[in-house]
Amino acid sequence: MKKTNNSYVIGIGLVATLGGLLFGYDTAVISGTVKSLEHIFDIQGFWLGATVSSVLIGCIIGGIVSGWFANKFGRRNSLMIAAVLFFTSSYLAGHPEFLFFERMSGEAGSGSMNILLTFNFYRVFGGVGVGLASAICPMYIAEVAPANIRGRMVSFNQFAIIFGMLVVYFVNYFIVFGQPDAWVFDIGWRRMFWSEMYPAGLFFFLLFFVPKTPRYLVLSGNPVEAERVLAKIEGAEKAKQTLAQIVESLKQKTEKVTAYGWKVLLVGILLSFFQQAIGINVVLYYAPRIFEGLGFGTDAAMAQTVIMGFVNIVFTVVAILTVDKWGRKPLLIIGSIGMAIGMFAIGTMAYLNIIGIATLIFIVVYTASFMMSWGPICWVLISEIFPNTIRGKAIAIAVAAQWTANFLVSSTFPALESFSMTFTYSLYGVMSLISIIFVWKMVPETKGKTLEEMAKLWRK
């Protein structure tokens, strides 16, 4: 019997994870532009938080419609649509005033409210692409990867997300390095957004060379093509067995999303909720601002952000190497403990007005704990816990819940931070502790199970 063609699976998986890279790139690019946007549009407080978080409104929309897109156009074609959205919105966000036949000068307050609203619309537009990619990339990978390497493959999507963030941190840093503020306010922030057009175009091009997923092909009435793809992945003999299991699980092509009870949906929604409620995207989106607020200079803050990016990469690799050995639940619980320690320590130091290297260390402890656990493992579980007949719809609900929680946490951070940094970070620490109880009591272990076994698991 021919063994799994790992090189082929990894090849198509790498193409799919470009969607994850763009997910990270698009959501993190704003971190380098916050100071410029604050200066040009003369905004702070609510409007600054809303502008930084506006992309998340699109992410919610993209998450909601992702199930419909995945079932209507297929997983691969939906990713192509996401690539087009990434490309278009990155250009428009860097040139939001072109519809108004004027050009902002980069001087303080030179951006009108109309242009600000238009900028936010373009960010929402791009956010739809992020929402689609965030749901469909792990879905695509999970549906082509064999059970024994599925956890690692889906976790690699998280690696791509973090790598995309690290890349954009470097891009932003080198764009502003050695440049005066006047140039950054006028040109620099635009180039940060425009830089996303290159990976978006590459992603769209490479998607022509990957197959549609076997499970979607069976759903759309093309089992012959599904078997051909499966044969390339795991050999002809194994492909027939896998195809038979897929066909059996899909005898009823469409089921109500509640066909397996409410618990499976609740678990998916709460996984998404806790991944955001523990505060990770506050650290990612506002990283330079946080470091500046803790006493580091602007250049130092950007450099600290790059250091964090490397830490994120290293500990995401830890998750990739352990998820199919240790299982999903142990990693989530270990990560929650580390995040709670990090957040409570940061809150305590804020209360005692202790600023220095210790603060950076505990931020690293927190982010490292997240990256080896909730960062990748949440996406692994969301991509695999739902039975085949409800996967598209159920993932859409879970991802929409995730982006809604993301928006609420990110948009409220500036107000919470101004109220009390100690309270804010302690709140995220409390959510980390609650997440431990949730994982222990409600989340099933899916290590080594096929996607077709999920129906049996939830039927019980």
> 205-244 pLDDT, tens per residue?
999 999 999 888 888 888 889 889 888 888 878 888 888 8
- Distance, CA of 347 to CA of 449 (rounded, Å): 40
pLDDT surpassing 80 at residue 68: yes
pLDDT at 1: 42
Does the domain made of 6-210+252-459 have the CATH classification 1.20.1250.20? yes
Instruction: Supply φ then ψ for residue 336, to 5 degrees.
Output: -60, -40
C-alpha distances out from residue 360 to 30, 116, 298, 343, 365, Å: 21, 33, 15, 12, 9
* Mean pLDDT on 19-33: 87
> 403-414 pLDDT, tens per residue?
888 878 877 776
Domain range list for the chain: 6-210+252-459
- Distance, CA of 377 to CA of 383 (rounded, Å): 10
- Return all residues near 365 (Cβ < 8 A) that are at least 6 apart: 338, 341, 342, 345
User: What's the predicted TM-score (pTM) here?
Assistant: 0.78
Q: What is the DSSP string of 231-271?
A: HHHH-HHHHHHHHHHHHHHTSS----TTTT-HHHHHHHHHH
Handedness of CA 94, 100, 106, 112 (dihedral sign): negative
One-letter amino acid for residue 417 of the chain: E
pLDDT at 191: 93
pLDDT surpassing 80 at residue 296: no
pLDDT at 56: 82
